[in-house]
Amino acid sequence: MESPTTESPTGESPTSGSPTRESPTRESPTRESTDMEVPSAPRGDLALRMVAMPSDTNPAGDIFGGWIMALMDLAAGTAAAARAKGRNATAAVSHLSFLRPVHVGDVVCVYTEVIRVGRTSMSLAVEAWALPRGLGERHKVTAAEFVMVAVDENGKPRPVPPA
């Protein structure tokens, strides 16, 4: 099994009292166009990569959606920790869409992008893409928006520092 790899998210923005957009030229990660056009490239930076294993399957033999969501949460937490320069906690997940099944042996890559920063929290676009058995063309399998809150050593919200 491959170990997770991380890279810091990109984008800079001041963190004044009101939320700011980190990536103003891109739309929400889960709001596909009405004709269901699927992007050909992932949004954001690679935050985690794992191989889907037999132990990660549901009764139908596909990879369990909860496993993919857990990977996405890990990736969002890693990216948020880099942006917040410290500990953070998942506050909410919205617009979660399972778009295609993932199969045993697929390489699942999770990409993150900070899209908004508030005083103590940030929103991240998170996408999971699968590379079938490490070969062929990758395809987007899951997308969501995660809200992460920067917390101090006591678990209380703290300000997100400027980028």
Q: How confident is the model at residue 63 (pLDDT cuts 50, 70, 90)?
A: very high
Render pLDDT for 69-93 as a digit per residue (tens, 0 to 9). 999 999 999 999 999 999 999 999 9
Superfamily of domain 41-150: Hotdog Thioesterase (3.10.129.10)
Q: Tell me, what's the pLDDT at 78?
A: 97
pLDDT at 79: 97
Q: What is the pLDDT of residues 112-149, one digit of tens each?
A: 999 999 999 999 999 999 999 878 899 999 999 999 99
DSSP bridge partners of 149: 89, 121
pLDDT in the model for residue 80 = 98
Q: Tell me, what's the pLDDT at 134? A: 72
Q: What is the pLDDT of residue 44?
A: 96
Q: What is the pLDDT of residue 14?
A: 35
What's residue 15's pLDDT? 36
The amino acid occupying position 105 is G
* pLDDT for 100 beyond 70: yes
Phi, psi of 71 (to 5 degrees): -60, -40
* Tens-digit pLDDT profile for residues 3-60: 444 333 333 333 334 444 454 434 444 444 334 555 689 999 999 999 999 999 999 8
Q: 143: closest CA among 120, 121, 115?
A: 115
- Look up the pTM and report it: 0.77
Radius of gyration in angstroms for the set of CA atoms belonging to the chain, rounded to a whole number: 16
Residue 67: φ, ψ to 5°: -65, -40
